[in-house]
Structure 1
């Protein structure tokens, strides 16, 4: 029995690493990452009196361009009309200029040190956002657990008492589906 428990405990780090890898892979292939979010916000920002697109900080995107404007081969939907070097700077800022395996290792290291980083969408620390919503999450978890036990324990007792009856078959059918 002890060897079984030790084997199961040995697989915990591998399971967590597998979950992290799958999560990382999904985030990498999903559209609408932080760079695209910033680009779309820039495209939606107010147009100044001269009719130029501004970056929200008063910087004229057309004047900031030192090269050809608008990369038609860009992977980002909001990149049309923006300087490709600006897009590269955004990728560098968010760390997307690094190879995939390096980004994964950085993510794992940060998770181990409880550095969840800064939210791309809320401009604040992720850990503070987690702590902000933790009371509500704990409350929902406790209430749902209480409701589950209040339903399942009496149902289980009734199924044992009426074993093989129509009630038992109907309850089993409902539970399975």
Structure 2
């Protein structure tokens, strides 16, 4: 496994550089210019063509595309994402500033999703074709079909505006700085309810049905029939024999969920004005802030590659029959 791990890590390097190249080309060739977007409405006597050209030169946008990429790549290998075009702050500093809000939101959402969806999927598999299985399946498919941005607007209108039960934007109230610890904590919890609900429902519905489907497929295997023939009860057969062998596809799915912890939900964070990575990403795209977009894209790509590597290594721990050469 050690040799396999070394080879996989070495494969990650050209893969990562390929991702950075494609991302850089896509965002650089997209319509729009960061200088003209920043100075929209000012292209007059107060903002001359010379000033426009000077700003492009300041940002390095006057250089050919391949030269700009290699300049960025030189900074990247030195763990420097450069400065943001929008406020000239270091990109790393801006990301670290927004990261805690996104981590809190997504860790809570992922914990709720897994802790509810996996047991619900197991129960549906154990009660296959029962009334519970049919009703839960209908509810889960309805939840999965709801776009989270539409659900967010619906909850904001109903619970926030009409009933005035929950705050609809931001991470805290305006007067939170004057609150003591427990009122401050309760204020944060209230602000979390709507975005966490929108993030959780879709993932919960999908994961529960995925878990059910995998378990039903495993249950049809010969060794499960042998376990039934031994007289083992349903709980033992499902949890001890079937679920363990269903872990491999579940681990793959969980590995795909890990990058979401940092990348955030762009649309939902924008809708709820949540000061996280998703909102930073959205604002960077709208202003063509190339250094910030590249920094966030590279971090997401690294997390995807690492989580896939860890998932491959976990396969051998789950199933000792898996051998790496």
Task: Tell me the TM-score normalised to structure 1 length.
Answer: 0.64
Q: Which residue of 2 aligns with 1:54?
A: 46
Q: Which residue of 2 aligns with 1:47?
A: none
Deviation digits for residues 70-119 of structure 1, max 9, x if unmatched? xxxxxxxxxxxx33x44332222111222211211111221222222221
Determine if the alignment matches structure 1 residue 125 to structure 2 residue 125.
Answer: no
Q: Which residue of 2 aligns with 1:138?
A: 103
Gaps of 5+ in 2: 142-205, 211-325
Q: Radius of gyration: which is bigger?
A: 1
Judge which range, 158-167 or 94-103, deviates more.
158-167
Q: Distance in 2 between matches of 1:12 and 1:147?
A: 31
Q: 1:144 to 1:123 in 2, by over 3 A?
A: same
Q: Distance in 2 between matches of 1:168 and 1:36?
A: 56
Task: Tell me the secondary structure at the aligned position of residue 148 of structure 1.
Answer: helix
Q: Is the 8 A contact 1:35 1:91 kept in 2?
A: yes
RMSD over equivalenced CA pairs, Å: 3.0
Deviation digits for residues 30-71 of structure 1, max 9, x if unmatched? 22332222442633xxxxxxxx8324xxxxxxxxxxxxxxxx
CA shift, 1:129, in A, is 1.1
Q: Which residue of 2 aligns with 1:33?
A: 33
Q: Which residue of 1 aligns with 2:16?
A: 16
CA shift, 1:29, in A, is 1.4
User: Whose RCO is larger (CA < 8 A, sep 6+)?
Assistant: 2
Q: 1:96 to 1:138 in 2, by over 3 A?
A: same
Q: Which has the higher helix share?
A: 2
Q: 2:59 aligns with which of 70, 94, 112?
A: 94
Q: Is the 8 A contact 1:162 1:168 kept in 2?
A: no
| Structural mapping, 1:51-90, within 5 Å | 53-55=45-47, 82-83=48-49, 85-90=50-55
Q: 1:125 to 1:9 in 2, by over 3 A?
A: closer
Q: Which residue of 1 aligns with 2:80?
A: 115
Gaps of 5+ in 1: 44-51, 56-81
Q: Distance in 1 between matches of 2:73 and 2:41?
A: 29
CA shift, 1:26, in A, is 1.7
Determine if the alignment matches structure 1 residue 152 to structure 2 residue 144.
Answer: no
Q: 1:5 to 1:120 in 2, by over 3 A?
A: same
Q: Is the 8 A contact 1:117 1:125 kept in 2?
A: yes
Determine if the alignment matches structure 1 residue 42 to structure 2 residue 24.
Answer: no
Q: 1:4 to 1:123 in 2, by over 3 A?
A: closer
Deviation digits for residues 114-145 of structure 1, max 9, x if unmatched? 22222111332222211211110111221121
Q: Distance in 2 between matches of 1:171 and 1:16?
A: 39
Q: 1:163 to 1:14 in 2, by over 3 A?
A: farther
